[in-house]
Amino acid sequence: METRAQLETRLTERIGQILRDEIERNGKASLLVSGGSTPKRLFEKLSKLSIQWENVTVSLVDDRFVADNHPDQNGTMLKDLLLQQAASKASFIPLISGNDLGSSLKEASAAIKNIALPYTIIILGVGEDGHTASIFPDSEEMEHAVSVDTTETLMVTNSRSLPYSRITFTLNALLNSKYIFVHCYGMKKARIIDGARQQIGAMPYPIAAFLNQTKTPIEVYWAE
């Protein structure tokens, strides 16, 4: 069985090759990633990739509305682990800026428009409640976040069971990409993935909205 370290190496190589090909073809590429504990070692490996990082724009699929450099902010981890070494040359678009949530949403939405569509690579995680990005099953905004009629790229969501407001990409926005990778570990996540593939709609596991669509290729990278 593949170890987590082996999976991270394989995923790093896959991401590197896609980014190289995209830069060769179009002169630039984009990488939108998730936070949490799962991708930490992946970020460290990606930071050492020998690619033209100066032609890569990096952002997050979601983030918590906390002060810049706060340990709970995904952007903090991204700057500490991914945007280092070779990858320090990449351009970074944060989702959180300043002390006002509405202003952060407005600024991030404007900045994200500078990334060429479709996005090159999206990396999603899976929460223990089946959420992905900040699309939570107990969120009042969940249905809008996964609706095929939603036109916003970014929106604010709130979980009833977790702290902090969030800014997240919507389903429609993330599907406007060339590759989506789901990266997760453990038997509980395996059961969530299996259950999500059987369900209709986005409940109880919002990750199903991504796994069961046919617009964008999606690959699951899982290890025990």
Tell me the CATH number at 106.
3.40.50.1360
Task: With a cut of 90, say whether residue 217 has pLDDT above it.
Answer: yes
Look at residues 69, 178, 71 and name the one whose alpha carbon lies nearest to residue 122. 178
Task: With a cut of 90, say whether residue 102 has pLDDT above it.
Answer: yes
Task: With a cut of 90, say whether residue 69 has pLDDT above it.
Answer: no
CB 124 within 8 A of CB 61: yes
At 171 the pLDDT is 98
Give alpha helix (H) positions in 82-214.
Answer: 101-112, 142-146, 171-175, 187-198, 208-211
Distance, in Å, from the CA atom of 168 to the CA atom of 187, rounded to the nearest integer, reads 26
Q: In a 10 Å sphere around its CB, with 0-12 CB exposed, 13-18 middle and 19+ buried, how is residue 66 labelled?
A: middle
Q: Give the pLDDT mean for 53-76.
A: 96
At 23 the pLDDT is 98
Look at residues 159, 185, 148, 154 and name the one whose alpha carbon lies nearest to residue 32. 154
For the whole model, what pTM was predicted? 0.97
At 98 the pLDDT is 86
Quickly state the pLDDT bin for 82 (edges 50, 70, 90).
very high
Q: What is the pLDDT of residues 121-172, one digit of tens each?
A: 999 999 999 999 999 999 999 999 999 999 999 999 999 999 999 999 999 9
Whole-number percent of the chain with pLDDT over 90: 97
φ, ψ of residue 183 in degrees (nearest 5): -120, 115
Range of the domain at 175: 4-223
Token output for 110: 């404007």
CA 154 and chain centroid, separation: 12
Q: Which distant-in-sequence residues (6+ apart) come within 8 Å of 37 by Cβ?
A: none
At 127 the pLDDT is 97
Give the count of domains, the chain. Answer: 1
3-state secondary structure of 164: coil
Token output for 147: 């609706």
Distance, in Å, from the CA atom of 33 to the CA atom of 55, rounded to the nearest integer, reads 17
Token output for 81: 């682990």
